[in-house]
Structure 1
Amino acid sequence: MSSKIDDRDAIGGDLVLVLNCGSSSIKFALFDAGMDPLPRKPAWNGKVQGIGGPSPTYGETGIDPAPVDLAGEHPHLAALQRIREGVVTRLDGRRLAAVAHRVVHGGSRYFEPVRVDAGVLQDLEGYIPLAPLHQPFALEAIDILLRENPELPQVACFDTGFHHTLPDVEKLLPLPWDAWQRGLRRYGFHGLSYEYMATALPERHGELAKGRVVVAHLGSGASLCAMQGLQSVATTMGFSALDGLMMGTRTGALDPGALLYLMEIEKLSLEEVAQTLYHRSGLLGVSGISSEPRVIVRHEGDEGEPGERARLALALYVRRIVREIGAMAAVLGGLDLLVFTAGVGEHNAFVRERICRDLAFLGIALDQGANRAHAPIISTGDSRVRIGVEPTNEEWIAARDAIAVVRGQAA
């Protein structure tokens, strides 16, 4: 990155960069590691979007995204270079003490944040088939920085790590026993988001947060986590990030017989099946309109097939969430607190309203005004289950964990 970026022994007033790399976007955030406690709001953040497409954009928070030139053989490398230019302009005499990476899959070996060297990187590359939308791009960024500046600490923070507390009965797949021995098991994802909830919810809800809690992380990817004592005891995503809830473009849980049919009868190749499951299904596939609920809802009143498909897509989306919340409540033996987070969960009041309407049998009562205002608590005073809306902060968790790793190694 720059000659100012090195690995001296103190982290003092230095900065930590967080990178969240996906197939077509890179989110970035810069945190001031010299402040104690670490500020939850980054000093600088933004996103490069449309990587690999015809019209990529670069945007920082508070500034409208603008076109960016990522032409060439390696658009992800060009995107990283643009981010690095922004980092260097903000060092202001300080140094970059570490780079934290959201790495989706740590497999059965990595649960805690870890400093990445060539050996760790090689291990993590083995999990690319389990998370093809994110894993290869995070590892590509790590590899580039390792080669350019091997002394700069890079810390992998795993989305699977928070679910290490799942009991074996939740991890086990009903396959022959040797599959378990080979590492085929339910891992769970969105762990950085749930780890943040384990910090933020007690601050907001006190002792209630330590009881029977379900967190609904609803974004382009979506999952639920049942928490008790602030630990994961059940979750909807499993071996891969395809499992569980219906998502923006992903199927969620699907009868495996349907996959056999697609391949044996309709003669779809493995690559075509993967494209269908990851990119052409979910809300987009059913509605034919969009992967975004807020876009689809505008078409519910349309006549004919477009309106019918819009209504069915949202009905199925809500039904799958409601069904799985019911299953989580059964595992927990009841429900004290239900929390919505991530893009859809935080900003789509009509989705929350429909979910809570269908969960009325649990004693849930929604405050419509609070829900429309996206208030932190959206249940009425007499609701048997408290309903919350809590913004997630995966980047802060990654920065915090990276600082702990670097300081621990320095000690």
Structure 2
Amino acid sequence: MRVLVLNPGSSSLKYHLRDTAAANPAAGILASGQVDWPPDERSSATHLHAAFEELTDTMKRPGTAHPEAIGHRVVHGGPQFSTPVLVTADVVSAIEELSPLAPLHNPASVACIDAAGKRWPDLPQVAVFDTAFHRTIPDFAARYAIPEDAYRAHPVRRYGFHGISVEMACRDTAEFLDVAPLNAIVAHVGNGASVTAVRNGLSVDTSMGMTPLEGLVMGTRSGDLDPSVVLLLQQEGATADEVDHILNNQSGLLAVAGSADMRTVEKAAGSGEPQALLAIDMAAYRLAKYIAAYSMVVDRPDALVFTGGVGENSALFRAKVVAWLRPLGLGLDEGLNMASQEGMREISTMDSTFLCS
């Protein structure tokens, strides 16, 4: 079957047309692409319309077969969705209702589902949820210490995100190391970023929480902060919607360094820009703290896996993170870390306590 996979992110739309019958997964990619927009801008219908126009133009190229089904990556499935589902009007409504929990992503998924349905009305569409992989997180790690009535009245718990990426990274790492079941710490670092503790192949904790706002320093998201900061912003006159916008769209690297794009921040840091250097150090330190904590949770991890746009491509960021982890026995091979290579690779020293890849 030829499946068109749509992955709307907070600053891009990635797409692949895959032949699922191909023996080699790489050979099964019939077409692919990515349309980006400024990561410090909220996803808009204009951006998504332009991205979908490019996608449909790609489908019209000679020799490119049309899809037979469409798969959508959806960030937040809430308590309702723990497995992939066939898209129906009720499913779309549920995804839309969960938008306050993933304001940068779920609306984009609804828009993509709508656009794909209009372009290919006879094709089945399936939604796959980033939160599903994290349904194995135990209650003591998933619960927040808030009053029971608030917990029961609202969907207040740690859902976790980037689950599709983490699950794939674990599968590939297990094959790469020939280890099963896998114990690993997976750092998905892009414009959005999270880190996950995986024990015996299952997610047991992750840095993002009820929404993708919690955890690491990200492109435009603050990550962890004292809840009193929210109260302070409201005391200064910000509405709830304005606070949400500040923490999701105006914080993170953007707030500290003036850009949400790590490539731009690294370039400025290379020129000695103090705020850029500070932003990278803040992001690396926050991630290193989580990795150190999760090494205890995982109990003798087989691997530390970097994935996502920054995790896969920024040698500087990886080096800064691992430098904090030397007390755990982690070591990074400078040459392997700097080398440009597609796919999974080992970048640790021979005596490193566990693999960095």
Cα distance in 2 for residues equivalent to 1:249 and 1:53: 6
Cα distance, 1:263–1:52 mapped onto 2, change above 3 Å: closer
Aligned to 1:46: 33
Letter in 2 for 1:107: G
Residues 6-405 of structure 1: pairs in structure 2 closer than 5 A? 11=1, 15-22=2-9, 25-36=12-23, 38-39=25-26, 42-50=29-37, 76-77=48-49, 79-89=51-61, 94-146=65-117, 149-181=120-152, 182-207=154-179, 210-264=181-235, 266-288=236-258, 290-300=259-269, 307-374=273-340, 376-388=345-357
Partner residue, 1:5: none
In 2, are the aligned partners of 1:27 and 1:47 still within 8 Å (CA)? yes
Measure how far apart 1:302 and its partner are. 5.4
For normalisation by structure 1, the TM-score amounts to 0.79
Same amino acid, percent of matched pairs: 39
RMSD: 2.6
The 3-state SS of whatever aligns with 2:178 is helix
Q: Using the alignment, how far apart are the partners of 2:8 and 2:221 within structure 1? A: 19
2:73–2:109: 8 Å Cα contact kept in structure 1? Answer: yes
**Cα-to-partner distance string for 1:39-71 (whole Å, 9 max, x where unaligned):** 4762211123339999xxxxxxxxxxxxxxx9x
Q: Structure 1, residues 315-353: CA drift from partner, whole Å, max 9, x if none?
A: 211110111111111222343311111111111111111
Q: How many residues align?
A: 351
User: What SS class does the counterpart of residue 251 from structure 1 fall into?
Assistant: coil
CA spacing shift, 1:294–1:91, aligned 2, 3 Å: closer
**Matched residue of 2:82: which SS?**
coil
Q: Which amino acid aligns with 2:261?
A: E
Distance 1:118 1:343, change over 3 A: same
- Distance between the aligned counterparts of 2:62 and 2:229, measured in 1? 52
Question: Which structure exhibits the higher relative contact order, with contacts defined as CA atoms closer than 8 Å and separated by 6 or more residues?
Answer: 1
Are the aligned partners of 1:349 and 1:372 in contact in 2 as well (CA < 8 Å)?
A: yes
Q: 3-state DSSP class of the match of 1:234?
A: strand
1: CA distance between counterparts of 2:213 and 2:122? 36
Contact 1:111 1:160 in 2 (8 A): yes
State how far apart, in whole Å, the 2-side matches of 1:24 and 1:293 are. Answer: 13
1:21–1:27 Cα contact (<8 Å) kept: yes
Structure 1 344/149 Cα, relative in aligned 2: closer, same or farther at 3 Å?
A: closer
2-structure distance, mates of 1:133, 1:352: 26
SS in 1 for 2:110: helix
Match of 1:402 in 2: none
Query: Which ranges in structure 2 are unaligned for 5 or more consecutive residues?
Result: none
Scaled by the length of structure 2, the TM-score of the pair is 0.90
